[in-house]
Amino acid sequence: MKKWNSDPVVITAAITGADVTRADNPNVPYTADEIAESSLRSIEAGASIAALHVREDDGTPSGRPDLFQDVIKQIRAGAPHALTNVSTGGSNTMSIEERMGGLEANPDMCGVETGSMNFGNETFITSPAAGREVIARAQKQKISLEVEAFDVGHIISALSLIEKGILQQPLRVNLVFGVSGGMDASPEALEAMLRPLPPETFWTVTCVGRHHDRMLALGLLKGASGVRTGLEDVAYISRGVHAPSNEALVAKLVTLAKTLGRDVATADQARELLDVY
């Protein structure tokens, strides 16, 4: 068994998301140029992966392939070794085809939901057929997959897909805490999410909202393969203080990781650990 701190931790910067707006934090990037610039600055601050949604210039969530292509082209020009990970979640107003718009940009990775859930006051639907469609298309294009797990059932569904030969190993999973309707942000919730994971799973901790720092610290101490921060997940860098940028959140997380005895992975190390080349 590996020691909890044997591997460097991979940091993901979640740049803009689909739900946060400038009413939540005035520094949320909207345009393709803003998203790309914030991604590059976050990579310079210590992130290895840019987790990407895109938006129209007014902040409306979008699945337009040309926007994803523009953002990824700029990231690869400025940071050719960094990884790009596009969302296929989009927003709950999008069709599954619109949600897969980012795949046309040929990212290094993409997320896949393996189940539906209540999401605040709304319901986010990903049918089994829709999840399989995302998996099939990504694997056909040789895009590595990351399961976005908001509850234990999402992990169990992913393992079932592996057993059936639909989802290929290695399993990469983003464990998401703090979303109303999903797993709560607590030590017990982390233990519940870790229980069914195969030993060699690459697992990342994401926490939305006020328990963000605590859950990431807990993940780091438990040996998380990755941790995620960014304006998609948290609006504040400290109590009552808006985060000035994604890169400021990444820099704070780098300091936390090193304080807790974890080295931070370079982009090349991240590719090796994730088995993404």
d(CA 66, CA 52): 13
Percent of the chain residues past pLDDT 90, beyond the cut: 96
Under 8 Å between Cβ of 171 and 201: yes
pLDDT (0 to 100) of residue 83: 98
Give the start-to-end residue ranges of the domains of the chain: 10-274
Residue 20 identity (one-letter amino acid): V
Phi, psi of 156, deg, nearest 5 = -60, -40
DSSP letters along 32-72, please?
HHHHHHHHHHHHHHT-SEEEE-EE-TTS-EE--HHHHHHHH
Angle between the N-to-C axes of helices 187-194 and 212-221, in degrees from 0 to 180, rounded to the nearest 10: 50
pLDDT (0 to 100) of residue 10: 98
Q: Is 111 helix (H, G, I), strand (E, B) or coil?
A: strand
Neighbour count for residue 51 (Cβ, 10 Å)? 29
pLDDT (0 to 100) of residue 4: 86
Q: For residue range 179-212, what is the model confidence (pLDDT) as tens digits? A: 999 999 999 999 999 999 999 999 999 999 999 9
d(CA 197, CA 223): 13
Angle between the N-to-C axes of helices 152-163 and 187-194, in degrees from 0 to 180, rounded to the nearest 10: 10
Residue 242 carries which DSSP code? E
Q: Looking at the chain, how many residues does it have?
A: 277
pTM: 0.97
pLDDT (0 to 100) of residue 1: 59
CB environment 170-190: b (16+ within 10 A), e (fewer): ebbbbbbbbbeebbebeeebb
In the block, tokens 């909890």 appear at 4
Percent of the chain residues past pLDDT 70, beyond the cut: 100
Average pLDDT for 130-134: 98
CATH of 10-274, one of 2.40.50.430, 1.10.10.60, 3.40.462.20, 3.20.20.70: 3.20.20.70
Q: For residue range 50-60, what is the model confidence (pLDDT) as tens digits? A: 999 999 999 99
CB environment 243-261: b (16+ within 10 A), e (fewer): bebbbbbbbbbbebbeebe
Q: Is 262 helix (H, G, I), strand (E, B) or coil?
A: coil
